[in-house]
Structure 1
Amino acid sequence: MRGPVDVLLTLAARTTSHSSTLTPDQLSSSINSANLNATSAPFYPSPWMNGQGEWSAAYAKAKDFVSQLTLLEKVNLTTGVGWEGEQCVGQAGSIPRLGLRSMCMQDAPVGVRSTDYNSVFSSGQTVAATFDRGLFYARGHAMGAEHKAKGVTVQLGPVAGPLGRAPEGGRNWEGFSPDPYLTGVAIAETIKGTQDAGVIACAKHYIGNEQEHFRQVPEAIGYGYDIDEALSSNIDDVTMHELYLWPFADAVRAGLGSIMCSYNQVNNSYACQNSKLLNNLLKDELGFQGFVMSDWQAQHTGAASAVAGLDMSMPGDTLFNSGISYWGANLTLAVLNGTVPEYRLDDMALRIMSAYFKVGLTLDEPPINFDSWTLDTYGPLHASVGSNVQQVNWHVDVRGDHGALIRNIGARATVLLKNVNNTLPLSRPKFVAVIGEDAGPNLQGPNGCADRGCDDGTLGMAWGSGSANFPYLVTPDSALQAQALADGTRYESILDNYATPQIKALVSQTDATTIVFVNADSGEGFVNVDGNEGDRQNLTLWHSGDELVKNVSKLCSNTIVVIHSTGPTILTGWHDSPNITAILWAGVPGQESGNSITDILYGKVNPAARTPFTWGPTRESYGTDILYTPNNGRDAPQDNFSEGVFIDYRNFDRQNITPIYEFGYGLSYTTFSYSNLTITNAHAGHYTPTTGMTEQASTFGNHSTNLNDYLFPKNLTRIEQYIYPYLSSTDGRAASHDPSYGQPASKFLPDNAISDSPQPKLAASGAPGGNPQLWDVMYTVTATITNTGARNGEEVPQLYISLGGPNDPKHILRGFERLSIDTGKTATFTADLLRRDLSNWDPVKQDWAITSYPKTVYVGSSSRNLPLARTLE
């Protein structure tokens, strides 16, 4: 972490680019060979928003508001008040003169963090398995409603980074899927739901944040690693566009209000001061109209990060509780001395307030009614220093009827991987034996481990800042026992994986239907659970789960296995045992876990979920892994994404590796047939790259350059460690803690960094999400799906496209739909193929293009069961 001397002077980006199409030889090179020396091209100035499209009304309101602000008020709006400065995990300064209370940023991938009377939802990865757009939206809306009712302004989610490059990645469960199309649909629908509920969604972590190891230097040093800089994710231009940036484009098009830049470096430039990522790709090419906030302590510079595209500093201090900020007073000084142009500060404020007004927030929002630092009713308003003791928690119950939704998602997200001779669904079995710690409770309670940083009892939620407090947790043991009592079934459970004699005695008994619950956990890097520093150390089941399954299945000929996990595990060695009659993946299902799995096991819900990732036969079969050991001396570890776009099923197809269960696979209690593939040409016309120039940047009002006008007010009581926009001295050097204060921007900022002149428009730009023609419908694909079985059910037909080029995957997902079809009935699957879906990124033209290679459409029930195919005209 850099010190305050670098507040104004650190350069944001390197000076050359690394953006070229990968050749087959490059694709087969070593995944993590060190010292690629990737660099990130500078891109300046930072684009100013223009309120285009659906942003126009909010932009007009924001423009009116920002035009009334003083310089100090604008700075206050962009800078966090410091770690533990107020009630939320992050808060920006208020503008009481105009009625704007402090904006509250709160963690939220599965629920409102650090409070009570909130719900805990299924993880993003789990809901992705539903392949259900309606559930994506409903979950987003319900989470948004709970945050809104707690007084949250910005909900820190959903997640598309990590995408899930390596299956061991600790935070993959917070995201959706390693397939960019599925993640793109899921994040877009989640954002729409969240923002329709009246809070700003914050997509994170942008970008290349694919592992926990070495993401932050202080964290890595705490684990005993000797490095001076955070890991660099080295990603070429094509891979960036076709894989990692893809879902963020969906997010921007969905009207996303904010984005969180990540801790890691990308091509050896920190993500929160990487002008290529923020100015070029996000704000210019994708036309992002919202604001970029830093991850907590991911900001490393002051002026450099400002001109590189950062709009809000979180939590505001350079180091937690340091009382020193790269922005705050230093941003005030930077504008006064011309290091940061006034239009850049105005643009920051416009972006923040436009997002604020866009979701319906007003200047009369109710107060924040919870406190992140205590569940007590009374406590210090400023927890960092223990001052201003008052009521900080009102214990508002925001759950509504969301438990029913969570139960439904958990069931409809459960993937039936194996079901021999219709073992499932169960129907009043004579004797049920439930085995495994994962079926039972944490003996310290569902919230007994801080940030859920343990793996005790059933896995209803993984660990880290993406966690929340359970209001309750229905365990599989309690729900299955209740079902057994209602059925008159004999029921016994053993909730200790190592109670071998007792387990053997129970499951060996006649008529036993044995259900074994096992899990594999992971989480954020600041927590180490059993040697797993966020990322999983391996892909085996925890607590000797694989041995438990093997031992039980040797003794019981009707063994059902339920897996709760944050990603795939290696099933080789037992999945094909004839005594294992059924296997289910139930993900990380949230508070209704036991009820959800019971609904599936007993057929109250007919499974139709699809695995959102591939289950490989070995760890090596994935072709990617975590970088566990620094490989560049004390310099930034180099994580080279040399596999390009070939992750998950794309790699299995390319390497001709047979997975145990392929991406998109899932069984039902009924059967379906596919027929009548039709493709209709929409005659969308030719693609026209965007041309022309932007308008000149505008500023709002003049400000005094007299430093006396910005001194800390004499009538205001200073709170220790709190971040203010005021100066402590009229001596700029003393106020900034920067011995080089006063150097002109030209001495240390890249060319064009502070220009306000009109800029050329990028060919791939033009609207939120990119060139609007990328979203033109090129073809409409339909197919007939028939329920040929004896039960009503749901089916998820999937559309894949082969782009045909030598460096393209065999086929990639480009459409899906979850259909409800009664027995003997048919339904029509419909999917539109957009221009974007058929295009490749051209790194020379810096635009999307449809190649001349033949394109083939496939429709089927998984990535490897595609009975319908047709070549596009």
Structure 2
Amino acid sequence: MTKSIDEFVDAMTLEEQVSLLSGEDFWSLPTIERLGIGKLRVSDGPNGARGGGGLVGGVKATAFPVGVGLGASWNVALLHEIGAALAEETKSKNAHMLLAPTVNIQRSVTNGRNFECYSEDPVLTAELALGYIQGLQENGVSATIKHFAGNESEIERTTMSSVIDERSLREIYLIPFEWAVKKAGTKGVMTAYNKVNGTYASEHNWLLTDVLRGEWGFDGLVMSDWFGSHSTAPTVNAGLDLEMPGPTRDRGQKLVAAVEAGEVTRETIRTRVRTILSVMEWTGAIDDHRPFEERADDRPENRELIRRAGAEGAVLLKNQNVLPLKPGQRIAVIGPNAKVAQIMGGGSSQLNPHYRVSPWEGLVAAVGVDALTYAPGCGNSRFEPLLQSQLSVQFFDNRDLTGEVVAVETMERAETFWVGSVAGGKIPATRFSARLTGEFVPEQSGIHRVGIASAGLSKVYVDGKLVADAWSNWTKGQTFFEEGCDEVVGEVALEAGRPAKIVIEFATKDHSVLGVAALRMGIGLPLGADDIAHAADTAAKADVALVFIGRNGEWDTEGSDLPAIELPGDQNALVAAVATANPNTIVVLQSGGPVEMPWINSVSGLLQAWYPGQEAGNAIADVLVGKAEPGGRLPQTYPVRWSDNPAYSQDPLVYPGQDGQVHYREGLFIGYRHYDKQGIKPLFPFGFGLSYTTFVYGPLEVDTSRLAAGAVSVGLDVSNSGNRDGATVVQLYVAPHGGAGDRPERELKGFAKVALQPGETRRVSIDLDARAFSYFDVGSQRWVAERGEYSLVLATDAASPIAAERVALPNRIEQRP
């Protein structure tokens, strides 16, 4: 870099300065060629680096485990490894910033984006985020921690106001962001779509200036979520550096005019530009003049890392001597997720993976196909099965499919997002129409269901007959980030083997907030009671039955919350039927969070496998056959029923929200804190997970030599007393005795994951500082650790203490935030 940042800023015109405060396109900022300033590019994350393509298709990318699966690993070092690998992935997409990690807290079990978040607990979330960010940034790629703040639901998220008291904000929801700034030095922060206490996060002066920059000392770049900026002067003055994506809606000439009118000072513009240039300098973007090129790097070391991480996050929840599988067993492989690789959730984190390994494929590789039989049993899709067929797409430069065809392209499946422009850049993606033509060959004769959902208007014709109409009476629903309609379904009789001509007509319509055009069309023959009976019969003929159930990225997705946590479709009936037919039934659950389990006492084994990335089937098979330890512990409490969850309420203001507000009335008492306070026994507690080996925990030793300053060191020996390699997670909770304020019974303040060989013993130490004993006193605006007694509780989960010691703080300690 030939000039300093201040020299660059001084050399710019006001218009050039303003041009850097908004995107040029969906993924990048403009260059200033006159001054030799290059282009800053960003890529979506956090379980991969998708690059500059759309949400479907594009250059292939590596799919890592989703956030909740990494959260279940409780392994900070693993997150560091993944962050480092993602830095190289980001570079392969010619980007400088990764839009990750997601650190919002799992307030409700129904949040559609829980799969992307690490945990219900702020300390676990924060520690894992530190590892991830440091891995990224040590390799020259900026993290962009998100979504700041209060985005714990997807319902009306672009307009909803999260009403959260300051103490709960400080002690729960802001902790991961605070640690990311103070301890990891994150270079990027992304604001949330929602309002916080009545003000949009993107123009929230208290959050962006007072807390983030003033109290925490953040010196990086604050950007909006995509289309999440709603004003000109208020966002700039509040501290939002960058409006994304481009082309700009609220800045550009509007911002120049605001400066000339005195609504924004020139020094504020200079401050925002300096911030962006500093991140560009740090990432190398300021001198990056390379032609844009994206690579699909399928690295062997990433394959190994993903496979290992998938096993490390898998949580063994029940095992009545059925796992690991024994050599020579006849295995029935059953369920909707058996032959479908559920590797990721839905929304902006999805990408085009190099490959997908299904559980069936993983088991074939592990035990051989001759040991396996298969039956699907039932489905679990939210939508009709996606049409996988080559489609010819004709584009029109209008909204009524008339006139000249501007361009013709092909698609490999009937699902797409159009953003920015279409037809090779000839037409804006906000105003066009298209006709898609292909065919579907039924495998069986019968009444098929045809479904269409679209952000825009759409119709589906089968053999010339209008079957599904999402055009004539289009109604906004919960698809495509709440810009699309709910799926419209029709029926048509089809004959096995006879190709049916499919025509989809599409036209854009005015959007609400997000400028996306999208459609998804599916067709299939529903499964029924006979299929469940066949699955039970298949199970009865095997030594052991593996039932692969759960949800998928259609349910666990950005843009909509779950309607409940009951398993979709007939999956509960399927598990019950299989468990009746075979006492050695093992359920493998893939979901982004808890499900209700009415069959839990009828099955012999239960493994929560999440969405573990492109090596999904191999990682799951490794755990099932015992090649790998089930290394995970739950990062979220599993309730018996949805109504046990802290956000469940008869008052819609608490959840899902009403009249534009959602009130966090539970305050501090989310997750295990809620279950402790209410005396509700969960199905599985926070931190729970079984192992294939056993552990012995030595006596607890507490070093109180620095207790006057609030510092304590806790240590103990942990031994593997079994005959297999294994890992345990030692969890340290702090429980105050009395004192001011309504405090949780206990809170996680430290943890350590320990991997041990048979007979090995290792010393574990966990250090606490004064913040571990503190609450936030809103009146004094201080973190306060009160004088008095506290219990230090070591546990293997939130409900299973293994040792406890009392310490007494000799004096009150106050700290500035």
TM over 0.5, shorter chain: yes
How many Å apart are 1:354 and its aligned residue? 2.0
Alignment of 1:385-396 (within 5 A): 395-396=295-296
Does residue 692 of structure 2 align to residue 660 of structure 1?
no
Higher strand share: 2
Q: What residue number does 1:268 align with? A: 198
Query: Partners of 1:662 and 1:633 in 2: how far apart?
Result: 24
Q: Percent of pairs identical after alignment?
A: 33
Query: Partners of 2:746 and 2:589 in 1: how far apart?
Result: 29
Q: What residue number does 1:409 align with? A: 309
Report the residue type matching 1:248 in the other structure. Answer: F
Q: Deviations over 1:43-89 (max 9, x none)?
A: xxxxxxxxxxxxxxx9x9544543443322221111112xxx3xxx3
How many Å apart are 1:418 and its aligned residue? 0.7
Q: What residue number does 1:436 align with? A: 335
How many Å apart are 1:244 and its aligned residue? 0.2
Decide which of 603, 615, 620 is 2:638's aligned counterpart.
615
Decide which of 299, 321, 328 is 2:229's aligned counterpart.
299
Q: What residue number does 1:794 align with? A: 727
Q: Deviations over 1:277-333 (max 9, x none)?
A: 11122111121111211111111110111111111011145xxxxxx6211112222
Alignment of 1:372-391 (within 5 A): none
Decide which of 57, 78, 90 is 1:135's aligned counterpart.
78
Q: Name the CA shift for 1:859/1:75 in 2 (closer, same or farther; >3 Å).
A: same
Q: What residue number does 2:287 align with? A: 363
Q: Name the CA shift for 1:364/1:835 in 2 (closer, same or farther; >3 Å).
A: same
Q: What residue number does 1:466 align with? A: 349
Q: Deviations over 1:603-628 (max 9, x none)?
A: 11122310110111111111214999
How many Å apart are 1:90 and its aligned residue? 2.5
Report the residue type matching 2:62 in the other structure. Answer: S
Report the residue type matching 2:35 in the other structure. Answer: L
Q: What residue number does 1:98 align with? A: 35
Q: Deviations over 1:200-241 (max 9, x none)?
A: 11111111111111112xxxxxxxxxxxxx111100010000
Query: Partners of 2:357 and 2:315 in 1: how far apart?
Result: 19
SS in 2 for 1:91: coil
Query: Partners of 1:524 and 1:304 in 2: how far apart?
Result: 36
| 8 Å contact kept, 1:156–1:203 | yes
Q: Deviations over 1:449-498 (max 9, x none)?
A: xxxxxxxxx42111111111121100001111222228xx5211113424
RMSD: 2.5
Q: What residue number does 1:548 align with? A: 574
| 8 Å contact kept, 2:103–2:117 | yes
Q: Deviations over 1:88-125 (max 9, x none)?
A: x3322212223322211221111122332310110011
Q: Deviations over 1:655-706 (max 9, x none)?
A: 11111110001111111121221111352765xxxxxxxxxxxxxxxxxxxx
Q: What residue number does 2:711 align with? A: 778
| 8 Å contact kept, 1:520–1:540 | no
TM-score scaled to structure 1, two decimals?
Answer: 0.71
Q: What residue number does 2:135 align with? A: 193
Q: Name the CA shift for 1:632/1:303 in 2 (closer, same or farther; >3 Å).
A: farther
Decide which of 629, 648, 651 is 1:606's aligned counterpart.
629
Query: Partners of 1:344 and 1:248 in 2: how far apart?
Result: 24
Q: Name the CA shift for 1:213/1:680 in 2 (closer, same or farther; >3 Å).
A: same
Query: Partners of 1:108 and 1:632 in 2: how far apart?
Result: 28
Does residue 11 of structure 2 align to residue 112 of structure 1?
no
Unaligned runs of 5+ in 1: 1-57, 217-229, 318-323, 371-394, 442-457, 528-532, 687-776
**Greater RCO structure (CA 8 Å; 6+ sep):** 1
| 8 Å contact kept, 1:632–1:638 | no
| Worse-matched range after superposition: 654-663 or 274-283 | 274-283
Alignment of 1:556-567 (within 5 A): 556-567=582-593
| 8 Å contact kept, 1:523–1:535 | no
Query: Partners of 1:102 and 1:413 in 2: how far apart?
Result: 37
Alignment of 1:117-128 (within 5 A): 117-128=60-71
Q: What residue number does 1:568 align with? A: 594
Alignment of 1:39-438 (within 5 A): 62-81=5-24, 85=25, 89-113=26-50, 114=53, 115-161=58-104, 163-216=105-158, 230-253=159-182, 254-317=184-247, 325-359=249-283, 361-370=285-294, 395-397=295-297, 399=299, 401-420=301-320, 422-438=321-337
Q: What residue number does 1:516 align with? A: 547
Q: What residue number does 2:364 align with? A: 481
Aligned length: 648
Query: Partners of 2:678 and 2:21 in 1: how far apart?
Result: 48
| 8 Å contact kept, 1:213–1:627 | no
Query: Partners of 2:657 and 2:799 in 1: how far apart?
Result: 44
Decide which of 612, 617, 640 is 2:663's aligned counterpart.
640
Query: Partners of 2:554 and 2:259 in 1: how far apart?
Result: 40
Report the residue type matching 1:238 in the other structure. Answer: R
Query: Partners of 1:245 and 1:833 in 2: how far apart?
Result: 19
| 8 Å contact kept, 2:21–2:241 | yes
| 8 Å contact kept, 1:518–1:563 | yes
Q: Name the CA shift for 1:400/1:73 in 2 (closer, same or farther; >3 Å).
A: farther
How many Å apart are 1:633 and its aligned residue? 14
Q: What residue number does 2:485 align with? A: none
Query: Partners of 2:660 and 2:549 in 1: how far apart?
Result: 34
How many Å apart are 1:543 and its aligned residue? 3.0
SS in 2 for 1:858: strand
Q: Name the CA shift for 1:439/1:350 in 2 (closer, same or farther; >3 Å).
A: same
SS in 2 for 1:401: helix
Query: Partners of 1:411 and 1:603 in 2: how far apart?
Result: 10
Query: Partners of 2:666 and 2:223 in 1: how far apart?
Result: 30
SS in 1 for 2:634: coil
Alignment of 1:449-460 (within 5 A): 458-460=341-343
TM-score scaled to structure 2, two decimals?
Answer: 0.76
| 8 Å contact kept, 2:98–2:143 | yes
| 8 Å contact kept, 1:130–1:409 | yes
Query: Partners of 1:593 and 1:435 in 2: how far apart?
Result: 16
Report the residue type matching 1:619 in the other structure. Answer: W
Report the residue type matching 1:460 in the other structure. Answer: I
Unaligned runs of 5+ in 2: 379-526, 809-817
Q: What residue number does 1:835 align with? A: 770
| 8 Å contact kept, 2:712–2:769 | yes
Query: Partners of 2:287 and 2:622 in 1: how far apart?
Result: 45
SS in 2 for 1:861: strand
Q: What residue number does 1:15 align with? A: none
| 8 Å contact kept, 1:461–1:590 | yes
Report the residue type matching 1:407 in the other structure. Answer: R
| Worse-matched range after superposition: 335-344 or 400-409 | 335-344
Report the residue type matching 2:31 in the other structure. Answer: S
Q: Name the CA shift for 1:310/1:594 in 2 (closer, same or farther; >3 Å).
A: same
| 8 Å contact kept, 1:196–1:359 | no
Report the residue type matching 2:573 in the other structure. Answer: E
Alignment of 1:847-866 (within 5 A): 847-866=782-801
Q: What residue number does 2:781 align with? A: 846
| 8 Å contact kept, 2:736–2:789 | yes
Query: Partners of 2:571 and 2:195 in 1: how far apart?
Result: 36
| 8 Å contact kept, 1:521–1:536 | no
SS in 2 for 1:543: coil
Query: Partners of 1:194 and 1:632 in 2: how far apart?
Result: 35
How many Å apart are 1:430 and its aligned residue? 2.4
Does residue 605 of structure 2 align to residue 676 of structure 1?
no
Q: What residue number does 1:9 align with? A: none
Decide which of 537, 541, 544 is 1:505's aligned counterpart.
537
Q: Deviations over 1:236-261 (max 9, x none)?
A: 01000000001111111211111111
